[in-house]
Amino acid sequence: MDIYNRLKTNKGPLGQYAEALDGYFTFPKLEGEIGPRMKFRGSEKLVWSLNNYLGLANDPEVRKVDAEAAAQFGNGYPMGARMMSGNSDYHEQLEVELASFVQKESAYLLNYGYQGCVSIIDSMLSRHDIVIYDAESHACIIDGVRLHQGKRFTYSHNDIESLEKQLQRANKMIDAKLGGILVITEGVFGMRGTQGKIKEIIELKKKYDFRLFVDDAHGFGALGETGAGTGEEQHSQDGIDLYFSTFAKSMASIGAFVAGDKMVIDYLRYNMRSQIFAKSLPMPLVIGDLKRLEILRSRPELRTQLWTIVNALQSGLRENGMNIGITNTPVTPVFLSGTENEAINLVIDLRENYNLFCSPVVYPVIPRGEIMLRLIPTASHSLEDVKYTVDTFIEIKAKLEKGLYAEKNPKLLQVLSI
């Protein structure tokens, strides 16, 4: 069969909906200054879909440094991969400051979060090693584990008893002379907002020999006394062997880093193929990330404001009968009961009649019959935004329960034809 012919008939689990959903539910275009209010299809919406936790995307200090660095260096400098010709004092300075901030001995700057996480896992493991990871891990962890040529096991989400059973299983199978065990969890699970049970996992080190790798993309900058992440929040940072985060959330930028013992970071510097064979992170991003990190350290009031909004939003939703699960982070899921068709009509109502933009999640990410609307509060939102949103959710929940979203709604076609 011609590969292209197969692609015509099997477009994938999401691609099969592309013709109907593209530009509205998938690949929507939010325009204007990044913040709580942006334009979507020509009208202003209250936006709860951006991981801009601390509001740094449009911070005046950040924008000034970004512009000055771009004017001075352009996007081309430095040219080449870090190992060959793309290194600079700024890259190394950022690594030193990141390591200090997350309380680790050394750090390595990475071009992207997704690519970086995949490549860390690939570089760390040999075919003799066993990897054990949370069943609800992010796609970057799953894809990294797929590259592993040895054994890999999952444990039930945030279930320490299930993890211990897998550790027992791995210890019986491992050849300790040739291989070891790597446990992987997330600091914050980005869909449901729960923290990984880092402290409890570290306790298992007293009984089992393994190393712990934590992907803290949603925790870095938002959790912990200083913003150093979920490990700091749980007073367990020392027990994390490899700490990873991206700049795409709290830092509102591009890039990522991994931190840990100097020996391990040096190994990764010389063995991560995704970095060795890729162009270095451009100077404007590096200098901009240095400024963002400085703000993380020097302006704790941004985290205070973030949590003011988080607490107001989550308490307001709970007090008005909304099911937001057991989130203990800024990520705020709202769970409703309904079909995929009802989810479509509900989201259209939210966007077109209430001018509120948030991200819907349906099967297969969550079970059939459930609708999840994920809200991401930020330091840029206001308490007035929170009140309007809670009031709106009270109304749409009532409409859903009355069956008002149940019929096939021709408005979808009207909306998509605009």
Confidence of residue 38 (pLDDT cuts 50, 70, 90): very high
Helix (H, G, I), strand (E, B) or coil at 294: helix
- pLDDT bin (cut points 50, 70, 90) of residue 21 is confident
Q: Domains in the chain, start-ordered, CATH in brackets?
A: 3-57+301-416 (3.90.1150.10), 74-298 (3.40.640.10)
For 362-392, the pLDDT digits (tens) are 776 777 888 999 999 999 999 999 999 999 9
Q: What phi, psi does 370 have (nearest 5°)?
A: -115, 150
- Give 3-state DSSP helix, strand, coil % of the chain, rounded to 5: 45, 15, 40
Measure the CA–CA gap between 126 and 114, rounded to whole angstroms. 21
Is the confidence at residue 413, as pLDDT, over 70?
A: no
Contact criterion met (CB below 8 Å) for 113 and 102: no
129, 180 contact by CB (below 8 A): yes
Across residues 47-54, what is the average pLDDT? 96
Single-letter amino acid code for the residue at 216 = D
Can you give the pLDDT at residue 418?
40
Average the pLDDT over each of 53-67, 222-236, 357-371 and give the range with the smallest value: 357-371
pTM over 0.85: yes
Nearest to 368 by CA among 345, 343, 405: 343
**Are the C-beta atoms of 378 and 54 separated by less than 8 Å?**
yes
Q: Taking residues 330-338, report their average pLDDT.
A: 95
| C-alpha–C-alpha distance, residues 208 and 176, integer Å | 12
Going by pLDDT thresholds of 50, 70 and 90, the confidence category of residue 409 is: low
- What is the C-alpha to C-alpha distance for residues 153 and 268, in angstroms, rounded to an integer? 24
First to last CA, the chain: 39
What span, in angstroms and rounded, lies between the C-alpha atoms of 141 and 268? 17
Task: Give the model's pLDDT for residue 341.
Answer: 87
Query: For position 328, what pLDDT does the model report?
Result: 95
Q: What is the mean pLDDT of the chain?
A: 93
Per DSSP bridges, beta strands 256-260 and 242-246 are antiparallel
Please determine, for residue 199, whether its predicted confidence score (pLDDT) is greater than 70.
Answer: yes
3-state secondary structure of 153: strand
Section 208-222 average pLDDT: 97
What are the tens digits of pLDDT across the range 119-178? Answer: 999 999 999 999 999 999 999 999 999 999 999 999 999 999 999 999 999 999 998 889
Residue 221 and residue 54 in contact, taking contact as beta carbons nearer than 8 Å? yes
Tell me, what's the pLDDT at 411?
A: 53
Asked if residue 226 has pLDDT above 60, the reply is yes
pLDDT grade for 114, boundaries at 50, 70 and 90: very high
| pLDDT of 259 above 80 | yes
Q: Is the pLDDT of residue 417 over 50?
A: no
pLDDT at 175: 86
CA distance 22 to 345: 16
Residue 196 near residue 223, CB atoms below 8 Å:
no
**pLDDT value at position 340?**
85
Q: Is the pLDDT of residue 13 over 90?
A: no
Asked if the model's pLDDT at residue 90 lies above 80, the reply is: yes
DSSP letter (8 states) at residue 349: H
**Residues whose CB is less than 8 angstroms from the CB of residue 263 and which lie 6 or more positions away in sequence, other chains included:** none
Q: What is the pLDDT of residue 9?
A: 82
**What pLDDT was estimated at residue 103?**
97
